[in-house]
Chains A and B, each alone.
Chain A
Amino acid sequence: MKKNTWINLGFQAGALVLALLITTLILVAVGAPPFKAYASILSGAFGSINNVENILITWSPLLLTTAGVLITFSAGLWNIGIEGQMTLGAIFTTGILRLLQNTQLPPALIIILGILAGIIGGALWAALAGALKTFGGVNEIFGGLGLNFVSTALTIYLVFGPWKRPGVGSMSGTQPFDQKLWLPTLPHTELSLWALGSSLLVIVAVYFLLRGTHIGLRLKAVGKNSKAAFLMGVPTWQYSMFAFLLCGAFAGLSGAIQVTSVYHRLLPNISNGYGFLGLLVAMLINYQALWAAPIAFFFAALNIGSVQLQIQYQLDSSFAGVLQDLLVLLVLLGEGARQRFLRKV
């Protein structure tokens, strides 16, 4: 066992080094000085309090989507549709806020109702993918992908149609809500401790759910071998559905947070790729919930830090994505190589 632990670490370190090596080569190829570029990512991420706050703002939705896909991964499901679930969360929240903004209800209540609606919206969208999978035999990857497109189209329709700003609709989204409907944030930032706190709470809850409860164990059994789980008495399709619902709820919450604490309106592409990024984090940590928080933080830092690259070297900030994707690919590759290696030994 001891020896294997070192071998595992070796392969993971190897993957990390290789990922850095390849990104360095890419940097050289596009004519940017690699070490200065890395330094600027670092300073971009941690150079000022403001930057760190931005990391935390990004961390929160990423934690939620990661928590969601950890649940569906445990049940053996590839919930690619998480982007759409997040979007539907944002749509539902916006809808409730719009509906209630001119009523006499206390703003706090409206915000809470809005967030609850977002959670329900995400869960419903996930339930659709789940029902397609369970009752229609549609693979959840295709179902989810299709529903992602639908959710994007729905957002654009709302932004340019029924919910358009007075005058003319634009890509910058719906009319921003009155400040009283904003989730309280730290002064002069968009960082909401409510958002951050609930995200951390969710990831901790998911950790305990997967590790220490009968529900978690059954989800895992369904994911690893649903036939055997069924014969052992686990109601398998109900658990798959449950996984979808829970993941969708977390995604919906993350969409609701984007609306109530970051953008204060609905805009196209409000999910911002956090769903896919959450999938990457889950893959990178090999579905171990314990590592979700630090790795999600690392990814968030890369996203924020690479904004600096654009300013200093005119490199697109999607450069962070290159590094993240390479890292995941190489870690997965390393995992395969490790298994072959161990079989040979």
Chain B
Amino acid sequence: MNVELRDIHKTFGAVHANVGINLKVPAGTIQGILGENGAGKSTLMKILSGFIRADGGEILLDDRPVVIHSPADAIQHGVGMLHQDPLDFPPMRVIDNFILGRKGSLLTGHAEASRDFKHLAEQFSFSIDPDAYIDALTVGERQQLEILRLIWLGASVLIFDEPTTGISAAQKVKLFAALRLLAEQGKTVLFVSHKLEDVEGLCSRVVVLRQGSLVGEARAPYSTKKLVELMFGKTISVGERNPCGGGGAASLSLRNLSVENYRLKVQNVSLDVCCGEVIGLAGMEGSGQGLFLRSVAGLVRTVGGRIILDNKDLTGRSYHVFKRHAAAFLPAARLEEGLVAGMSLTEHIVLAEEAHEFFINWEKGKELAQNRIADFNIHGTPANTVESLSGGNQQRALLALLRVPLSLLLLEHPTRGLDIESTIYIWSKLKERCRQGTCILFISSDLEEILQYSDRVLVFFSGKVTQPLEADTLTIEKLGELIGGKGWPESTSGKST
């Protein structure tokens, strides 16, 4: 089926997620859709698959304009999407999941469905037991089930959102073979990814999205350098580095740290961070940097290695023990994890301070809040609830809650969604901490921010981690390639499952 998108627009509040996107994909092609986090790939695909409605523009299937109201509607039109996290029902059997989305008769028709399932699975040489429970399946197998289900429902356009994340190498080979088979059968495959290697190896054509716009397209064979440029924008001028006084003993030592979750393994990371040093953690979202950072905060159990903070071995201890040893973690989701909506700034300040008395001295708390508000340039009053503050002010409030002194500060996306002025202010406050001897590890998807403020950088890709790289020696292009999975030495430890 030929797919055509015409002038697709979508805004979420102030964010223009899709800006007039035009895209034509003929039947029988594997079309790559490349872009960094937040480039608008998923939004575009969700519009095509009926999860969200576009604000403007047209969708044409085989040159006929269609209006897609819902995912069920999309399937009726022959469009199916495989989501990054499988949307299935773990407590149910494979065959029940297979049947679930089908419209029509009251009876499930298990026997017939079971026959079809086996037949289809054979065709793609997938081996899944239809009577197994989803819980027992790997991510790769759940993906295979989803592919079979969509084809059975009659999908002739299949959208894959980051399908190679979290599956094994063997499953990836199988997946790619299946995708090629689908294309041969005349189906249209849309392959969304940020992994250059996968896109280059699989897709006959690629479009690149950046900040909501379609910024370029290419056909195989590709020039990696050109794709990276398209993804991250060309030659951003990097500001002056601010190396801060390191030296001296390591205040944080990681020895062969290993941590894993159901889809990723980060293995054998060793790192010494000295007082006042800033380490930037780069990588596409979900490449392992978040898991790593939370394990260094004691929020996620490590599966191997040691964490030593100020000469104390804190391996396996809880976050509150880390906190008592002057470590702090600031989450990216400010209102979800960092601040308590419905409580005022004063209440937050009082809550974050160590309590020595039974009763709260609200006068003192208010005074303290006023001082912090002035110190951190927060636009608000002590009585303001945190959700009434702007994003930048919430971030400053989070910083204002930190105790002094700190040995280790771990930050997730410290300036995400903030304007330039707020960003600069926040980093000036963070650098102030560094001068007092705090070492900082931070995650950012803004490469410029990584290069500007880090002394050293770790790049994550599918759970693999680079050696610490001197920020001085890095460029946006080099960083972009590493993030996209290119230019990794074979010897690097760690692997994805």
Same complex: yes
- Interfacial chain B residues near A230, Cβ < 8 Å: 319
- Interfacial chain B residues near A234, Cβ < 8 Å: 351
- A213, A221, A224, A229: the one within 8 Å of B359 (CB): A213
Q: Does A3 contact B (CB under 8 A)?
A: no
Minimal Cβ-Cβ distance residue in B for A236: B320
- Interfacial chain A residues near B351, Cβ < 8 Å: 217-218, 221, 229, 232, 234
Minimal Cβ-Cβ distance residue in A for B352: A232
A220 to B342, CA, bound (A): 10
User: Is A224 a contact partner of B341 (Cβ separation < 8 A)?
Assistant: yes
User: Is B401 a contact partner of A232 (Cβ separation < 8 A)?
Assistant: yes
Minimum CB–CB distance from B399 to chain A (whole Å) comes to 13
User: Is B338 a contact partner of A231 (Cβ separation < 8 A)?
Assistant: yes
Interface size on A, residues (CB 8 A): 20
- Interfacial chain A residues near B323, Cβ < 8 Å: 233
Minimum CB–CB distance from B333 to chain A (whole Å) comes to 9
Of A212, A225, A229, the most chain B CB neighbours within 10 A belong to A225
Q: Does A214 contact B (CB under 8 A)?
A: yes
- A214, A221, A225, A232: the one within 8 Å of B360 (CB): A214
User: Is B329 a contact partner of A231 (Cβ separation < 8 A)?
Assistant: yes
A227 to B330, CA, bound (A): 12
- Interfacial chain A residues near B350, Cβ < 8 Å: 214, 217
Interface size on B, residues (CB 8 A): 25
Main secondary structure of the interface of A (DSSP, over half): helix
Q: Per-residue CB proximity of A212-251 to B under 8 Å, as 1/0?
A: 1111011011001101111111110000000000000000
A224 to B385, CA, bound (A): 12
- Interfacial chain B residues near A215, Cβ < 8 Å: 358
User: Is B360 a contact partner of A228 (Cβ separation < 8 A)?
Assistant: no
Minimal Cβ-Cβ distance residue in A for B339: A228
- Interfacial chain A residues near B355, Cβ < 8 Å: 214
- Interfacial chain B residues near A224, Cβ < 8 Å: 340-343
Q: Does B427 contact A (CB under 8 A)?
A: no
A215 to B357, CA, bound (A): 10
- B329, B336, B342, B347: the one within 8 Å of A217 (CB): B347
Q: Does B362 contact A (CB under 8 A)?
A: yes
- A213, A225, A235: the one within 8 Å of B339 (CB): A225
Q: Does B490 contact A (CB under 8 A)?
A: no
Q: Which of B125-139 contact A (CB under 8 A)?
A: none
- Interfacial chain A residues near B331, Cβ < 8 Å: 231
A137 to B342, CA, bound (A): 26
- Interfacial chain B residues near A221, Cβ < 8 Å: 340, 343, 347, 351
Minimum CB–CB distance from A86 to chain B (whole Å) comes to 28
Minimum CB–CB distance from B252 to chain A (whole Å) comes to 19
- Interfacial chain A residues near B338, Cβ < 8 Å: 228, 231
A74 to B338, CA, bound (A): 19
Q: Does B337 contact A (CB under 8 A)?
A: yes
A276 to B362, CA, bound (A): 34
- Interfacial chain A residues near B359, Cβ < 8 Å: 208, 212-214
User: Is A227 a contact partner of B360 (Cβ separation < 8 A)?
Assistant: no
User: Is B339 a contact partner of A214 (Cβ separation < 8 A)?
Assistant: no
Q: Which of A190-221 contact B (CB under 8 A)?
A: 208, 212-215, 217-218, 220-221
User: Is A212 a contact partner of B319 (Cβ separation < 8 A)?
Assistant: no
- Interfacial chain B residues near A217, Cβ < 8 Å: 347, 350-351, 360
Minimal Cβ-Cβ distance residue in B for A220: B343
3 interchain residue pairs of minimum CB distance = A214-B355, A225-B340, A227-B337
User: Which residues of B are at the interface with A, using a C-beta cutoff of 8 A?
Assistant: 319-320, 323, 329, 331, 336-343, 347-348, 350-352, 355, 357-360, 362, 401
Name 25 interchain pairs, CB-CB below 8 A, sorted by A. Answer: A212-B359, A212-B360, A213-B358, A214-B355, A214-B358, A214-B360, A217-B350, A217-B360, A220-B340, A220-B343, A221-B351, A224-B341, A224-B343, A225-B336, A225-B337, A227-B336, A228-B336, A228-B339, A231-B319, A231-B338, A232-B351, A232-B352, A233-B320, A233-B323, A234-B351
